[in-house]
Amino acid sequence: MKIILALLIPLILSLIILSTIGTNLINTGISDVAQDHQKSLAFQISMRLSDALDHYPGYLLSLFSDMRTWTDSNHIDQNINQINRTGMDLIFDQGIGVYTDSGKLIAHSSWQNTKWENLSPLLVKSLIATRTAQYTSLNKSIKLPYLSVFVPVITEERGVIAIFEGRISPEYSLFGSRLIDILEIESGSAGYALLIDGEGNILYQRFQGDIYEEIGSKLTSAFQDDVIRDTSSTVIRNDITGKDQFAGYHIVPGTNWAVIAHEDRKAILNDMDQYLYLTYLLIGGVFIVSIFLIVLLINQFLNPLRTLLNGVRQVREGILEPYPFPPYHDEFEVLTTEFNRMISVLKTSFVDLDSSRKRYQTILNQASDGFILLDEKTLSIEESNRMSHTITGYSANELKNRQFVTLFDEKDAKKFKNIINSLTSEGINGEVEARLRRPDNKQIFTEIKITRIIIDTISYFQVTIRDITDKVVAEEKIRKGIQMLAKNQETLAILNDQIRNPLMVIALHLDGIEQEKEKAIMHEISRIDDIITELDRGWLKSDKVRNIMKKHYDINVEELH
C-alpha cells in the first residue's frame, strides 16, 4: 500500500504541477496573442474610421464649390438653406456654419436651434497651421449633443480663406450610421468596439454578443479612465467582467478620437484553444496511461514483490521451507526459484551448523574444566558450559549476565580484578586461585585462568575455572604429614644421638666386664644399634619423602619447622 501511495502521490502531484504550469504557459501565450490581436483590431478599426472621416470635409467643401462667391453672405445663406435637396442635412444634421479666416462667423444654417458664435483664436490658428480638417469632441452643453468638423478652405494663391463647420449628432445623423458599420468586429465572433472622443465621451459603441450587451453601460464608464486615454497604443485590462480581458486602444489618425476594441478570445483564438484542449487531452492521456502503468506495475511487480516479501517473512519467522510461489513467466520466476533454492541451501547450512554446534556443545560440556565467557567491559557472564554450572552451583540462566566477581569472596574478587587490569593493560594472561561461594553457601577452592579472546571483532575474557578443593585439601594433609614427619625425624635424631652416644659409652665401659655379659651387653647394644640404624634408615626415607613432597608441593623447609 505504501509503495502504491509512494507511486501515486508523486505521480498525481507531478501531473497537477505539469497541468498547472502547462496551462499557465499556454494561457500566457494565448494572452499574449490575444493582446496583440486586440491591438491589431483597434488599429484596423481606427484606420477604417480615418478613411471614412476623410470624406466628410469634402462633403462640406462640395456645398460651396464656387469659391468666388464664398464671401457673399446671401449666397452662402442660400447654399446652406438649400442643402436639404442634397440630403447633406442627414449628415450635418445639427447645422452648417461659415467663418472667415480669422474665425468670424459669416453665416449659419437655421434649421436647428443651436447657438453659433465666432471661433476661438486657438482653433483658427491650429486650422491655418495644419491646413487639415479637425474633428472636435462631443459638445454636451446642449440638449442634443453634437460634434463638429472644421474644414479650412484653401486656395493656392491666398492659402486659408475661410473655415466651414459641419455639426453632427452622432446618434441621429447618417454620419453615425456609417461609423457604426465601420466599428465592426469580425463577423460571427463576440466583442465590442468603442469610439471615444478626446474627452473620453463615447461617440459610438458596438457590441456583439449577449455578455457585452449586458455590461455595456459599465464597460463604457470603465473605458473612460484617464490611463486609457493617455496611452497612445496599449492593452488594458477590463475588470468589468471579472476576467482577464484585454482591449486594444488606438488613436484615430487625424483626430483626437480613439478606438477601443476587443474581440472575444474564444472566438479569435479557437486554434489556440484547441491546443489548450489538446494539452488537457494529452495530460488526461498521460494520466490514464500512468494509471494503466501503475496497475500493470502492481500486477506485474508489486504483487510478485509482495509474495516474495511473504516468503522472506516466513524465513524471518524461522520457517526454512520453500515458499509456494505462483508461477511467473518472467524474471520473477528466476528470482523465486533462486529464493527457494537459497532457502534449501540455507536450511542445509543451518542443519550442519546446528549439528556442529551440538558437537562442540557436547565436547564443551564434557570438559572437566568450566569455561565462562565474560563481557570485556562489564565482566558479566555471556556464555558458560555445563562444568562451570557444576563448579559454581548455578544454572546457565542464573549465570547469564551475572557479574563474575560476585561468585567469589571479596578478597579474592580483588585478586581477580587485579588480574583483569594487568590483562587489559599488559596483555598478560592471568591465573589465580580463589574461593568461590556456591548458592548453598558452601565454599570451594577454584583455580581460574583468564585469557583475552576476540570473536567477530568483539573482545571477551575467557575464564577457565577448575575445582581444586580436593587438591587443596590433599596438599594440606601432605603439608601436615611432612610437618609430622619432620617432627618424627627430629625425635629420631634426638633419639639417635641420645641413645647411640650412651651406647658408645656403655661399649667403652665393657672392658673388664665378663665376657658373656660383655657379649650379652654388646649383643643388646648391637640390637639397639640395629634398631637405631633401622630408625636412621626410616629417617632417611622420611627425609627423602619429605624432600620429594617439599619439592613437588612447594613447601618451605622453614614451614616444616
Partner 1 sequence: MQISLIILLIIVLQSDLILADTQNPMDAPDNRIILHGGDWDSFKLINAIASYILKNGYGYTPQIYPEPEKKVSESLSSRTVDISLEVWKENHPPELQNYIEIGAIIDMGKIYENAAHTYIIPDHVAQQYSIRTMEDMQHYWYLCKDPEEPTKGLFYNALITWLVHDSNLKKLDAYGLSPYYNPVTMPSSRAYEEVFMKAARENRTVFGMYWIPSAVMGTGYWKELEEPTLPSCTNETILNLNLVNANQSQICPFTSSSVHKLVSRDFYDSAPEVVSFLIALKPDENEISRTLTFGYLNNISDWDRLSEEYLINNEEKWKSWVSTDAYIRIKRTLAVNTDETE
Min CB(205)–partner 1 separation in Å: 9
CB of 55 to partner 1, least distance (A): 7
Q: What are phi and psi of 168, to 5 degrees?
A: -130, 130
End-to-end CA distance of the chain: give it in Å, rounded.
90
Nearer to partner 1, 133 or 465 (CB): 133
Please report whether residue 204 would count as binding partner 1 according to CB under 8 A: yes
Q: What's the closest the beta carbon of residue 89 comes to partner 1, in angstroms?
A: 8
Q: Contact between 91 and partner 1 (CB under 8 A)?
A: yes
By beta-carbon proximity to partner 1, the closer residue of 96 and 343 is 96
Cell numbers of 20, please?
498547472
Looking at 86, 110, 355, 362, which residue binds partner 1 (CB under 8 A)? 86
Q: Residue 140, interface with partner 1 (CB under 8 A)? A: no
**Least distance from C-beta 200 to partner 1, angstroms?**
19
Cα–Cα distance for residue pair 551/533, rounded to 1 Å: 26
Rounded to an integer, what is the distance from CA 127 to the centroid of its chain?
Answer: 74
Q: Which residues pair with 430 in a beta bridge?
A: 450
- Per the CB < 8 A criterion, the answer to whether 114 and 146 are in contact is yes
Nearer to partner 1, 171 or 518 (CB): 171
- Spatial distance between the Cα atoms of 321 and 548, rounded to a whole number of angstroms: 67
Stretch that binds partner 1, among 85-93, 153-161, 352-360, 405-413 (CB under 8 A): 85-93
Q: Which of 18, 23, 47, 59 binds partner 1 (CB under 8 A)?
A: 59
* Residues in contact with partner 1, shown as a per-residue x/- string from 8 to 47 under the rule CB under 8 A: ----------------------------------------
Environment class of residue 67 by beta-carbon count within 10 Å: exposed (0-12), middle (13-18) or buried (19+)? middle
Residues 159-198 close enough to bind partner 1 by CB under 8 A:
170-172, 174, 176-178, 180-181
55 touches partner 1 (CB under 8 A) = yes
C-alpha dist (Å) from residue 552 to 42, 477, 478, 539: 128, 14, 11, 19
Closer to partner 1 at the Cβ: 95 or 304?
A: 95
CA dist., res. 345 & res. 315, Å (int): 13
One-letter identity of residue 218 = K
One-character DSSP codes across 376-440: TTT-BEEEE-HHHHHHH---HHHHTT-BGGGGB-HHHHHHHHHHHHHHHHH---EEEEEEEE-TT
The residue among 48 and 178 lying less far from partner 1, judged by its C-beta, is 178
Nearer to partner 1, 26 or 260 (CB): 260
Q: Measured from the CB of residue 76, what is the shortest distance to partner 1 in angstroms? A: 19
Q: Which of 213, 338, 470, 497 binds partner 1 (CB under 8 A)?
A: 213
- How many residues at the interface with partner 1, by CB under 8 A? 23
Residue 262 near partner 1 by CB under 8 A? no
Within 13 Å, how many C-alpha atoms sit on residue 60's CB side?
A: 29
Q: Please report the DSSP string for 151-191 in residue order.
A: EEEEETTTEEEEEEEEEE-TTTSHHHHHHHHHSPPPTTS-E
Select from 218, 263, 259 the least CA-distant residue to 242: 218
Between 39 and 167, CB nearer to partner 1: 167
- Give ∠ CA 554-556-560 in degrees, rounded to 5: 120
Find the shortest distance in angstroms from Cβ 264 to partner 1: 15
445 binds partner 1 (CB under 8 A): no
**Is 200 or 209 the residue whose CB approaches partner 1 more closely?**
209
Residue 48 contacts partner 1 per CB under 8 A: no
Residue from 37, 39, 206, 389 that binds partner 1 (CB under 8 A)? 206
Q: Which residues bind partner 1 (CB under 8 A)?
A: 55, 59, 86-88, 90-91, 170-172, 174, 176-178, 180-181, 204, 206-208, 210, 213-214
